[in-house]
């Protein structure tokens, strides 16, 4: 065991092993529990998290628990719950039966059983240290050790013992186990009574090992009566079973017995003829089970109903047009705002065009330089006449061809946070987003931009009381979510006129929240006379269903990549805080087969495809779910994930969540100071966040997009001053487009 203790147990591999042994696609969960259990309705095998790092011990335990799940009926233990002695005997014999069955079915685990027993026996897990296994143990303990050692221990069995062993070998069903346990127990009681008549019985090893003495006759008699009553009850109940066949689906949850022996915390009760080796093993198993492990909540992801989730751009434009038209019809003065909006958006686009084109050119140069670095030169096999004269002293006389690697097809999808906390920075955020859309449009990158919202409502939905049953199709084991809608505001298939109209309305939405305190004053003649119309209720800001949006992305990203043959894909999230609480209490079937929410809380373990994802590096918090989902998306679909987090003012302790690993307090303070400086000078700071390939904190106070501003230049200025103003203006117009700059770096 010592030679293997540094090996790391791979829960994924062990789960697959359990599924193979169970001969069905059961769910295998490792959790902070004391003993294994099997949910026969939902087909979930829960295993403890063992501290032991030896593969043979772990494999032996998994095989043993799976064997219980397969062949030990769930209702069987209820019938013998009143007798500690009988329960102990049944447990030993049932282990013999199911271990023999699993080793016969899967010969490969025989070696695990042999090595696993040797490891545990050396550490005295069976409590046999300083005991003579032939003289100090009752028959039930000899049987226990003999079969757990794969019949290798050097026991000296009497002819009578051998008869009992042959009956153990013949066990077929759980009923057989119970009947044989009763027979051996009654035989052992008679043997004990014979020993008690010996004058030196109190000095016999039995008296000490099994808490037996002459002054406990009364308790022993009471135990005998209890055993007889239990036998009668058990015999009476056997008639209701189906010919002794095993049943595994009669009860929802089958605890695989932990310590079946009596005595509680005080040890074995006097007079109880229990298997002390089995009792010692169950108590020592606590040494194997991790008591410090976190509790986990296992779940899968529901299937997103994209027809319900996605609000098409056509629908978005239809609702915006109808709303604007109805508002203008009601209040004709809104015409002034509509004209202002059209002209202002057109001017904003024109002012940004030069900078966007500059970045397009910069992108093309970076891409060409990268391609040139990866270029290869090879001989063509055609003689170069210019080099032919050198044939006597050089074999390099062939023409060469420089091959540039094919450019990869890029693609971008973006999720914009449409929650109430974004209202203060929504205009600046949208300005940044528009620049990114225009850039993608110029270089012909396939893209789709959505904002995720909790507020979109149709006739079939109550947004204030839902469980995501419209947005997602659930099955047993799926985590619970709220409803979500992804509203498409831009994509590469839209005609230019339609795209401009859609982005104009998006620009209006940002403008509306920016002017929310002066909508109806009309006090700014430089903008427009009169008031501006608002936006449809469906597009009001709400909560933050980011996780719900990411679950939808699990289905949307592969469709997008396949449609455009994307080789290098980028998913961008733009938020200003954590997501709603979600993916808790996974659905499970009740006894009637109906899906209900379970009451399991803990660090989420989310299974996507064949792999499970969890956050093992930090204590569970709400952001962990988002990180886990992003990690799954990034790995499953081979994409880059870029996150932009719009901040207001962070405290020093909040910066600590984003600096990553640090050596000591001084190092921590240094990293925080660097991040604060970057937020001031560069308007952003790169940070660490689970699930993101790159993550950036954006300074919400300075997110406005700058264009060339030479108004400070005066006719009497010196050339150096003019150059300084010009350089600063040119730098600001590039630096201010944080989203676009970081995206260019990623795709170039």
Handedness of CA 635, 637, 638, 641 (dihedral sign): negative
Q: State the pLDDT at residue 522.
A: 42
The series of mean pLDDT values per 10 residues for the chain, 748 residues long, is 39 61 68 69 72 72 80 75 84 94 90 92 91 91 95 94 96 94 93 83 76 55 45 40 40 44 42 84 78 75 94 96 93 87 90 78 65 50 60 58 55 92 84 85 90 80 56 89 94 94 94 63 49 88 93 96 90 86 80 78 81 68 80 93 79 68 70 76 77 81 50 53 46 51 61
Q: State the pLDDT at residue 447.
A: 93
Between the CA of residue 725 and those of 670, 681, 704, 717, what are the distances in Å?
Answer: 33, 17, 19, 11
Domain ranges of the chain: 2-260, 304-373+408-583+619-747
Long-range contact list for 369-375, CB < 8 A, 24+ apart? 370/748, 371/404, 371/405, 371/407, 372/404, 374/404, 374/405, 375/402, 375/403, 375/404, 375/405
pLDDT in tens, 499-513: 999 999 999 998 888
Q: State the pLDDT at residue 636.
A: 93
Between the CA of residue 480 and those of 18, 19, 590, 592, what are the distances in Å?
Answer: 26, 25, 16, 20
Q: State the pLDDT at residue 314.
A: 96
* pTM to 2 decimal places: 0.68
Q: State the pLDDT at residue 746.
A: 63
Helix (H, G, I), strand (E, B) or coil at 359: helix
What is the C-alpha separation between 126 and 120, in angstroms, rounded?
Answer: 8
What is the C-alpha separation between 680 and 659, in angstroms, rounded?
Answer: 16
CATH class of 304-373+408-583+619-747: alpha beta
694-699 vs 640-647, strand pairing mode = parallel
427-445 as b/e: b if 16+ CB within 10 A: bbbbbbbbbbbbbbbeeeb
410-417 vs 568-575, strand pairing mode = parallel
Q: State the pLDDT at residue 410.
A: 82
Q: Which residues contact 196 (CB under 8 A, 6 or more apart)?
A: 212, 214
């Amino acid at each position: 065991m010592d030679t293997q203790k540094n090996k790391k147990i791979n829960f994924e591999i062990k789960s697959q092993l359990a599924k193979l042994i169970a001969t069905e696609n059961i769910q295998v969960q490792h959790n902070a529990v004391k003993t294994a259990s099997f949910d026969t309705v939902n087909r979930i095998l829960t295993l403890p998290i063992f501290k032991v790092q030896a593969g043979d011990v772990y494999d032996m335990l998994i095989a043993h628990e799976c064997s219980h799940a397969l062949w030990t009926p769930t209702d069987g233990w209820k019938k013998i719950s009143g007798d500690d002695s009988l329960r102990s005997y049944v447990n030993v014999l049932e282990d013999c039966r199911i271990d023999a069955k699993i080793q016969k079915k899967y010969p490969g685990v025989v070696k695990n059983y042999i090595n696993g027993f040797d490891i545990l026996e050396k550490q005295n897990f069976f409590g046999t240290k300083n005991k003579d296994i032939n003289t100090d143990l009752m028959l039930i303990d000899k049987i226990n050790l003999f079969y757990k050692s794969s019949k290798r221990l050097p026991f000296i069995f009497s002819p009578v013992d051998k008869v009992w062993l042959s009956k153990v070998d013949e066990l077929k069903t759980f009923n057989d186990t119970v009947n044989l346990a009763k027979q051996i127990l009654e035989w052992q009681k008679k043997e004990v009574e014979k020993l008690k008549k010996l004058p030196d019985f109190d000095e016999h090893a039995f008296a000490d090992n099994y808490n037996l003495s002459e002054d406990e006759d009364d308790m022993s008699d009471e135990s005998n009566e209890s055993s007889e009553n239990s036998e009668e009850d058990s015999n009476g109940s056997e008639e209701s079973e189906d010919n002794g066949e095993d049943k595994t689906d009669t009860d929802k949850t089958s605890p695989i017995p932990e310590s079946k022996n009596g005595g509680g915390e005080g040890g074995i009760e006097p007079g109880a003829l229990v298997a002390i080796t089995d009792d010692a093993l169950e108590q020592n198993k606590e040494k194997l089970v991790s008591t410090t492990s976190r509790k986990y909540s296992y779940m899968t992801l529901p299937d997103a109903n994209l027809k319900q989730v996605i609000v098409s751009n056509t629908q978005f434009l239809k609702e915006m047009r109808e709303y604007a038209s109805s508002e203008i019809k009601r209040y004709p003065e809104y015409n002034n705002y509509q004209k202002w909006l059209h002209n202002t958006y057109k001017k904003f686009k024109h002012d940004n065009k030069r900078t966007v084109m500059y970045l397009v050119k910069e992108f093309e140069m970076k891409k060409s330089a990268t391609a040139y670095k990866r270029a290869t030169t090879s001989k063509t096999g055609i003689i170069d006449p210019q080099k032919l004269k050198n044939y006597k002293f050089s074999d390099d006389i062939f023409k060469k061809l420089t091959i540039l690697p094919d450019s990869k097809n890029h693609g971008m999808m973006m999720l914009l946070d449409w929650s109430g906390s974004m209202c203060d920075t929504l205009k600046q955020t949208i300005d940044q987003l528009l620049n990114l859309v225009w850039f993608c449009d110029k270089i012909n990158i396939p893209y789709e931009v959505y904002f995720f919202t909790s507020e979109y409502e149709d006739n079939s939905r109550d947004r204030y009381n839902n469980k995501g049953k419209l947005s997602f199709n659930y099955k047993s084991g799926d985590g619970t979510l709220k409803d979500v809608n992804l509203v498409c505001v831009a994509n590469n298939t839209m005609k230019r006129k339609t795209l401009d109209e859609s982005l104009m309305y998006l620009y209006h939405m940002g403008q509306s929240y920016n002017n929310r305190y002066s909508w109806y004053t009309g006090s700014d003649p430089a903008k427009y006379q009169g008031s501006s119309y608002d936006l449809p209720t469906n597009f009001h800001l709400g909560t933050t269903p980011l996780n719900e949006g990411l679950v939808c992305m699990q289905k949307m990203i592969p469709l997008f990549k396949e449609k455009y043959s994307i080789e290098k894909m980028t998913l961008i999230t733009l938020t200003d805080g954590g997501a709603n609480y979600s993916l808790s209490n996974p659905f499970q079937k009740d006894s009637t087969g109906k899906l209900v929410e379970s009451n399991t809380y803990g660090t989420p373990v989310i299974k996507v495809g064949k792999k499970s994802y969890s956050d093992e590096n930090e204590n569970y918090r709400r952001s962990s779910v988002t990180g886990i989902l992003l990690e799954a998306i990034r790995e499953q679909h081979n994409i880059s994930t870029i996150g932009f987090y719009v901040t207001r003012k962070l405290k020093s302790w909040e910066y600590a969540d984003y600096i990553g690993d640090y050596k000591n307090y001084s190092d921590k303070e240094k990293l925080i100071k660097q991040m604060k400086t970057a937020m001031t000078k560069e308007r952003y700071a790169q940070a660490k966040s689970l699930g993101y390939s790159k993550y950036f904190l954006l300074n919400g106070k300075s997110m406005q997009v700058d264009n060339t501003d030479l108004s400070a230049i005066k006719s009497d200025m010196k050339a150096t001053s003019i150059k300084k103003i010009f350089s600063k203006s040119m730098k600001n117009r590039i630096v201010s487009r944080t989203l676009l700059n970081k995206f260019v770096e990623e795709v170039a």
